[in-house]
Chain A
Amino acid sequence: MILSTGNSMADPLDRQRPATVGGTGQPTLMFDGVSHAFGEVQVLDQINLTVEHGSFVALVGPSGCGKTTLLNLAAGLALPDTGAVYYQGRQILEPNTRAGYLTQDDALLPWRDVVGNVALPLEIKGIGRAARFASAREIIKKVGLHRFEHHRPSQLSGGMRKRVSLARTLIYKPETLLLDEPFGALDAQTRMLMQKQLLDLCREFQLTVILVTHDIGEAIALADRIVVLSARPARVIEIIDVPHPEEGNVFRRERGNEELYLRIWDQLAAQAADTGST
């Protein structure tokens, strides 16, 4: 299996269960008994989760349940109160520079143009101006923004800014992508185009992806596995395999799994009813 899990109430041996199918069997990311609180508010409760190399995992859960916190822990922007997070076998104790993190709000620098923003990670690595600009132009072309190289973020639409962020994340060739509701604020059409683009890029770069989303349809369309989280404090409720006989077409991938959609929807609705939150 690509992904294994347990929670405080599950069999503690669960996470020792060997992985059998999918990916390479190598765990890219592992949450080991992770709990986290912000002051009095407990957001994560004993999360055990293994994401294996080459898999595409979606995290769904009621809003405010701690999904973003999970990504922040994976990115090393925060350390868990208890438990540990491992990236490729090594405990994460500082910002994880090997995973590309696409945050909910784009973090583009408004004083730089598109090329300047996309080339920034290479600039930080000390790569020469000509070389980094060449790489930046190449990847900007890949996300279809070559006509906007010298625009500033403020001159671009929301979807374009997301693509610039994605290009900037991909330029340092991360093995893993952490995506936090990347397409949430986009209109339906742009979202579908970007979802397709993301799938293509994942295949091309052989990325391991962890996607946080509130959109069940998006999770079904994109992911191999869906992790359903409970309301705060988040526990893993269920892990669902998504069958994808139809490759490529995002729309068909989503529509081919109506029953799954309803099942996850019911689970989330139950969670929301549990806590009285929406």
Chain B
Amino acid sequence: MPHGDGARTSRILKDRPAWAGARTFIRNSVVQQLLVFLAILAVWQAASGTIVNAYYLSTPLAVFAQIGSWISNGTLWPHLSATLATTMLGFGIAAAVALPLALIVTDRPFLDQTFSPFIFAAYSMPKIVLAPALVVWLGIGQLPAIVLSAVTAFFLIFFNLYLGLKNVPQIYNDTAALMGASAWDAALKFRLPAASAYLLAGIKQGLIYAFHGTLVGEMTASDTGMGYLILFAGAKMDSTGVMAGLCVVGLLAVLLTRVLTFVLRVNDPVDGQLHG
């Protein structure tokens, strides 16, 4: 509908029509995202049983029902908590090893030259192929999943932090040296905060990859965890169970990143107390 700018302005200023509120509501990005999500569910529901056999794809309603019954009969929680605990443990171990190792390796040119090529080679190798070997070494259970999670996360945290520390401007190292800073002080007060952007990137990617490693580990050799639950449903040709498991895992992944982003924003190393 063609109308002049003046008319538009005056209408906004004076009397907003009744549907103006609805329009602002729809333009809200969260609302838009929700609408897209609902649309996908609707297409899924409509396509299932018409275009695609419902046996393969299941339906959103059946999936929700499945999740609901998992929650009510107590199936979900043990698996969900096992996956969460394994992810956290794997991530924690990875960070605890990667952080000091990156600091030491980048501080000693000799260590850097000797070991970095091996670490980079291992970094580019897909870690999930380790899963069968881990089963041989560690047996069935959460242990191989924890190790796989830790190994996967380790390389991401290490690699990011390594790059960050190698990029610390020489002037910070010189300043630390001229102040007579110990290796500990130099790491904590100069190098780590200077590399904080890389460290945060490493932590974010590390957590996600710890989650991936956990799921693969659970799928390979475990009797608990979301990975196991999905694999078990798949083995029974239970497409509803597989989709329900995928939905829970997807939700968990989003939740993990959201929580992490929030925590990291609160503890912004530039403005917060992390490096006081």
**In the complex the two chains form, is A109's CB within 8 Å of B190's CB?**
yes
Give every chain A residue within 8 A of B276 (Cβ-Cβ).
Answer: 116
Given A109-B190, A109-B193, A110-B270; A124-B181 close (CB under 8 Å): yes
Which of the residues B178, B182, B270 comes within 8 Å of A96, measured between beta carbons?
A: B178
Tell me if A125 counts as interface (CB < 8 A to partner B): yes
* Closest A residue to B268 using CB positions: A111
The contact of B275 among A76, A105, A111, A121, by CB within 8 Å, is A111
Chain B 183-209: CB-based contact to A (< 8 A → 1; otherwise 0):
001000110011010000000000000
Please determine whether B174 and A77 come into contact, CB atoms closer than 8 angstroms: yes
Is the Cβ of A107 less than 8 Å from the Cβ of B174? Answer: yes
Counting contact residues on chain B (CB < 8 A from A), the size range is 20 to 34
Our pick among A101, A105, A109, A111 for the contact of B178 (Cβ within 8 Å) is: A101
Which residues of chain A come closer than 8 Å to B178, judged between CB atoms?
A: 75-77, 95-97, 99, 101
- In the assembled complex, the Cα of A76 lies from the Cα of B174 at a distance in Å of 10
Of the candidates B180, B189, B193, B194, which one forms a contact with A97 in the assembled complex, judged by CB atoms under 8 Å apart? B180
* Selected contact of B185 from candidates A75, A110, A111, A124, CB within 8 Å: A124
- In the bound complex, do residue B180 and residue A120 qualify as a contact, i.e. CB atoms below 8 Å apart? no
Q: Which chain A positions have C-beta within 8 A of B189?
A: 109, 120, 123-124
Within 8 A of A (CB), among B258-276: 269-271, 275-276
Give the distance in Å from the alpha carbon of A110 to the alpha carbon of B171 in the complex: 13
A75 to B193, CA, bound (A): 25
B32 beta carbon closer than 8 Å to chain A:
no
* B22 CB-CB contact with A under 8 Å: no
CB contact list, B193-237 vs A, under 8 A:
193-194, 196
A125 to B171 Cα, complex, angstroms: 20
A135 at the A/B interface (Cβ < 8 Å)?
no
Q: Does B20 contact A (CB under 8 A)?
A: no
Q: Which residue of B lies closest to A172 (CB)?
A: B179
Cross-chain contact A120 with B193 (CB below 8 angstroms): no
CB distance from B194 to the nearest CB of A (A): 8
21 contacts between A and B (CB under 8 A): A77-B174, A95-B174, A96-B178, A97-B180, A99-B178, A103-B174, A107-B171, A107-B174, A109-B172, A109-B194, A110-B270, A111-B193, A111-B196, A111-B269, A111-B270, A111-B275, A120-B189, A123-B189, A124-B176, A124-B182, A172-B179
In addition to A101-B178, A107-B175, 12 A-B residue pairs with Cβ atoms within 8 Å of each other are A77-B174, A77-B178, A95-B178, A96-B178, A97-B179, A107-B171, A107-B172, A110-B270, A120-B179, A121-B179, A124-B181, A124-B182
Neighbouring B residues of A103 by C-beta, 8 Å: 171, 174
Interface string of A109-153 (1 = CB under 8 A from B): 111000010001101110000000000000000000000000000
Complex-state Cα separation, A97 to B174, whole angstroms = 11
- As a 0/1 sequence over residues 111 to 129 of chain B, the CB contacts with chain A under 8 angstroms (1 = contact) are 0000000000000000000
Compute how far the CA of A101 lies from the CA of B276 in the bound complex, rounded to whole angstroms: 24
A216-248, CB < 8 A from B = none
For residue B180, which residues in chain A have a CB less than 8 angstroms away from its CB?
A: 95, 97, 124-125
* Cα-based distance from A90 to B176 in the complex (angstroms): 22
Question: Nearest B residue to A75 by beta-carbon distance?
Answer: B178
| B109 CB → nearest A CB, Å | 15
Within the complex, the shortest CB–CB distance from A107 to chain B, in Å, comes to: 4
Q: Which residues on B sit within 8 Å (CB–CB) of A97?
A: 178-180
- How far is the CB of B71 from the nearest CB of chain A, in Å? 45
A103–chain B nearest beta-carbon distance, Å? 6
- Chain A residue numbers with a CB within 8 Å of B176 are 124
Q: How far is the CB of A173 from chain B (nearest CB, A)?
A: 13
| B177 part of interface (Cβ distance < 8 Å) | yes
Which residue of chain A has its CB nearest to the CB of B271?
A111
Nearest to B176 among chain A residues (CB) is A124
Chain B proximity of A6: nearest CB distance (Å): 29
What separation, in Å, do the CA atoms of A109 and B171 have in the docked complex?
Answer: 10
Give the docked Cα–Cα distance between A72 and B271 (Å). Answer: 32
- CB nearest to B270 among chain A residues: A111
Shortest distance between the CB of B29 and any CB in chain A (Å): 31
| Chain B residues closer than 8 Å to A77, beta-carbon distance | 174, 177-178
In the complex, chain A residues 166-205 whose Cβ is within 8 Å of any chain B Cβ: 172
